[in-house]
Amino acid sequence: MAAQDELFQLIKSLTPSEKRYFKTNASKGGDAKSNYVQLFDAIDSQTDEYDEELLKQKHAKKPFIKYLSAEKKYLREQVMKQMRAFNSTRTVDNRINELLQDEMFYRDKGLNDLREKALAKAKELAAEAERFHLLKEILKRQTAFVIEFEKKQLTAPVIQLINEQKHLSILQESELELQTKNRELFSILRSGADMQDPAVRNRVEMLYAEVERYRTRISQSFVLQSHYERACSNYHHLQRDFKSSFQHTKNEYELYQGSEHLKSEDAINYKICLANLMARSQSAHENDWFKKALEEMKALPANSFNEEGEVFQNIYFQEHLFYINNGEFEKAESLVPIIEEGLIMYEGKINIARKLAFQFNIMVMYFLMHNFKEALKWTEPLMDDNSEIKQEQKFVTTLLLPIIHFELGHADLVESFTRSAYRHLQKKKRLHEFERLVVKYLTDMPLSSNQVEFRLKLEEFNTQLERLIHDPIVKVTLGMEEMSLWAKSHLTGTKMSLLLKEAATTGHSVQ
């Protein structure tokens, strides 16, 4: 983001209620017509992007133009000041921090009764919401207060507070360890790391073993249970044990149902839990749970631009994938314009992994619909991406490209794209049994009009692919089902979308 765009982005990120709050409080101070309020309106009136030259031309006679740089800086400070006030009572962290500020004020004024009450209230809120980092500061202040002012039985309350701090340290250490292990498991899952690589597989197993060490402690805390369930869910998903992965996410969801106050106090994490429940229920073919989580996610209000982006990327990603997996391609395609618009609107919120996943699913959707021209278009951003994120999806795209060109009648490109796929997979050390099978078939694929030879080669390929899919030792990997549907479509003369719709009731999915 260019430096001059930051204020524009800040103003555009405000909700209507936040803008009203800013304007209302500006008018209370007699500033309704001040330079910074006029500048706020001028910037807010611009639509798609910030244009400083146009701003200067349109408002050339306004005082704020003369010192525009200084006015913009002051406006930004005022917006943030008002937003801090607007949000001050909306989160438990803000309420606790305000009580700690009150405690400092009371201490300076010698108002010890009020000081003690502020600490007690802060401690109650922090304990209920399991804000361990804030509890640590509160206990430190309570200990100092007791040592300073307790006249009788000084030892007992100090020892009690010290023991509370020791217990808190154990909880904090456990939270940090579980959170760290979960984040690493999640990053391995998100990156599409190769689980057939012994180094990756061994690292995943080691992380899971460390997570399991904390099983006996998790009953002491909602936060510990939540991190534990997420870590286990990510581990089992990496192992493609989708039923177990779903069960652990369901466990986390049920934790929230028993802690209603945390659903509102920790709204973002609850929405992430719902998003995970949608994803895991799809993988486990728990369609009723998917619909339940989707309906609840849609009903939850978004209190900020960040939450709007979070809701968008989870609802539309999962809903689009659900329609594909269940063969409802008209519904899936109808979401594409909404997804494209959202990817632009929430560009600053959506991470690269999710953006690539959106693009990959749309490419697969068009491939399964036999709209190979559109599928080819959506391969472009996937192949142009130079990050190491979602590598598994890039490998599948590499394998699908020769087939897409074959279907489009580009016989001269099939061979070159097959060689390119082989080199790319070899370089990335991704030539396992499935990839070797596909590359070998594409290399041997008859490109002439000899349908007998084409069918014989395809039948042989399909037989070997089916063996891989049903091999209990070989894990079904991304791309296998798409390849299988394509082969069956040519062998039976049935559209892939229809084959998928028929298979949806038996538990197949695109993933």
Nearest to 127 by CA among 116, 139, 115: 139
Expressed as residue numbers, the domain containing 58 is 3-87
Do 300 and 423 belong to one domain? yes
pLDDT (tens place) for every residue of the chain, 511 residues total = 344 478 888 888 888 888 888 888 877 655 556 778 888 888 888 887 888 888 888 888 888 888 888 888 888 888 888 887 777 666 888 889 889 999 998 888 888 889 999 999 999 999 888 898 899 999 999 888 888 776 555 677 888 888 889 988 989 899 999 999 999 999 998 887 878 889 999 999 999 999 999 998 898 899 999 999 999 999 999 998 999 999 999 999 999 999 888 887 788 889 899 999 999 999 998 999 999 999 999 998 877 777 788 889 889 999 999 999 888 999 999 999 999 999 998 887 888 888 999 999 999 999 999 999 999 999 999 999 888 777 788 889 999 999 999 999 998 898 888 998 888 888 888 778 888 889 999 888 877 666 888 899 999 999 999 988 887 666 667 888 899 999 999 999 999 999 988 877 655 444 4
Do 195 and 311 belong to one domain? yes
**Domain assignment of residue 46, yes or no:** yes
Do 79 and 187 belong to one domain? no
Q: Fill in the amino acid letter for 185.
A: L
Q: Where are the alpha helices (DSSP H) in 346-450?
A: 352-368, 372-384, 391-407, 411-427, 433-444
**Domain assignment of residue 300, yes or no:** yes
Do 83 and 186 belong to one domain? no
**Domain assignment of residue 151, yes or no:** no
**Domain assignment of residue 273, yes or no:** yes
Do 298 and 397 belong to one domain? yes
**Domain assignment of residue 98, yes or no:** no
Do 294 and 181 belong to one domain? yes
Do 290 and 431 belong to one domain? yes
Final residue of a structural domain among 47, 70, 87: 87
| Structure tokens that stand for 252 in this block | 């986390």
Final residue of a structural domain among 55, 87, 119: 87
Four-point Cα dihedral 486, 369, 282, 277, nearest 10: 140
335-344: long-range contacts, CB 8 A cutoff, minimum separation 24:
336/362, 336/365, 342/312, 342/313, 342/316
Q: Fill in the amino acid letter for 198.
A: P
Please enumerate in sequence order all residues whose Cβ is within 8 A of that of 296, keeping only pairs 6 or more positions apart, or say none: 274
**Domain assignment of residue 454, yes or no:** yes
Angle between helices 112-129 and 92-109 (to 10 degrees): 160
Burial pattern 428-461, b for ≥16 Cβ within 10 A else e, equals eebebebbebbbebbeebeeeeeeeeeeeebeeb
Final residue of a structural domain among 87, 122, 137: 87
**Domain assignment of residue 67, yes or no:** yes
Query: Domain tally for the chain?
Result: 2
- In CATH, what number is assigned to the domain containing residue 366? 1.25.40.10
**Domain assignment of residue 138, yes or no:** no
Do 198 and 51 belong to one domain? no
| Structure tokens that stand for 457 in this block | 């080669």
